[in-house]
Amino acid sequence: MSRRPVNPSRHLADGGSIPFVGAIQSKSRSSPLLSIGLVVVGAILLIGFCYSNSEGGSSSTIKGVSKLEGGASCTSEVLRALPVLKKAYGDSMHKILHVGPDTCSVVSNLLKEEDTEAWGVEPYELDDVSANCKSLVRKGIVRAADLKFPLPYRAKSFSLVIVSDALDYLSPRYLNKTLPELARVSADAVVVFTGYPGQLRAKGGEVAKFGRPAKLRSSSWWIRFFVQSNLEENESAGKKFEQASSKRSYQPACQVFHLKSFP
């Protein structure tokens, strides 16, 4: 995916800006308006070129996000974090709802664990999925549901709710409804996986699939939002998660927040 932003601008820079320089020089006396226009076009090309370069550059400076390139996601990060989540949440790991794209991968991994029941909500289409995923859908374990509407589950149906990526695609107006919904259907905790600002995502296909590009928000933005929505962070769970992470030299490639369920 790093190829995507770089190629078009390189193409423009090679094929476009050099002839423009010549044009500015030869025509600057005859038509000031034209030359101003060309300078503006040149500036836009330059900014575009720098922007795509800096975007490409930042991806290599963030540790551990190599997995996220190519449009992968925090959903795959949930799978990596499972042993750590087990340490932090212990008994609460017995009845889990995962919400997010590619939920079948998380659910089928959770179902392999002993004493674990798992369900999944896929916020986007379930058209192009594996036979295994289709079978989970047929059994009613995984279902498609638009997160802008109430979730089709009773209050406290699950001990733990894990959400990955999905929230990055919702505007604050919908987040205001969706986050309390996740808390409502959980009995013990909600764990939120979101992308770090500056992380690269697959842009073209992503917009087609999710309806809008991901908005990757900072940790302070999220914490402010949780407070506004009366969702409290569970500091003891956060601490346990951190301790278990450092013990295993695990560095999450996504932001992870630990929220309390409603009393």
Ligand X SMILES: *[C@@H]1O[C@H](CO)[C@@H](O)[C@H](O)[C@H]1NC(C)=O
Q: Specify the residue, 141 or 158, whose C-beta has the smaller distance to ligand X.
A: 158
Under rule CB under 6 A, residue 240 binds ligand X: yes
Q: State the minimum distance, in angstroms, from the CB of residue 246 to ligand X.
A: 16
Structure tokens, 111: 């179902």
Place of tokens 């991994």: 109
Q: State the minimum distance, in angstroms, from the CB of residue 194 to ligand X.
A: 17
Site for ligand X (CB under 6 A): which residue of 38, 68, 78, 88? 88
The site for ligand X, by CB under 6 A, has a size of 13
Under rule CB under 6 A, residue 234 binds ligand X: yes
Under rule CB under 6 A, residue 95 binds ligand X: no
Under rule CB under 6 A, residue 186 binds ligand X: no
Alpha-carbon distance 220 to 101, whole Å? Answer: 24
Under rule CB under 6 A, residue 172 binds ligand X: yes
Give the residue closest to ligand X by C-beta.
237
Q: State the minimum distance, in angstroms, from the CB of residue 89 to ligand X.
A: 5
**Pairing relationship of beta strands 142-144 and 186-194 according to DSSP bridges:** unpaired
Under rule CB under 6 A, residue 83 binds ligand X: no
Place of tokens 């914490």: 223
Structure tokens, 110: 């959770």
Task: Extract the runs of DSSP E, i.e. beta strands, from 136-254.
Answer: 142-144, 158-164, 186-194
Alpha-carbon distance 174 to 166, whole Å? Answer: 11
Angle at 189 between CA 160 and CA 194, to 5 degrees: 90
Alpha-carbon distance 227 to 69, whole Å? Answer: 31
Site for ligand X (CB under 6 A): which residue of 1, 89, 147, 191? 89
Concatenating the DSSP letter of every residue in 111-167 gives HTSTT-EEEEEESS--SS--HHHHHHHHTTSEEE--TTS--SS-TT-EEEEEEESGG
Under rule CB under 6 A, residue 243 binds ligand X: no
Q: State the minimum distance, in angstroms, from the CB of residue 247 to ligand X.
A: 15
Q: State the minimum distance, in angstroms, from the CB of residue 84 to ligand X.
A: 12
Q: Specify the residue, 134 or 212, whose C-beta has the smaller distance to ligand X.
A: 212
Q: State the minimum distance, in angstroms, from the CB of residue 201 to ligand X.
A: 23
Which positions lie near ligand X, rule CB under 6 A? Answer: 88-89, 172-173, 176, 188-189, 228, 234, 236-237, 240, 260
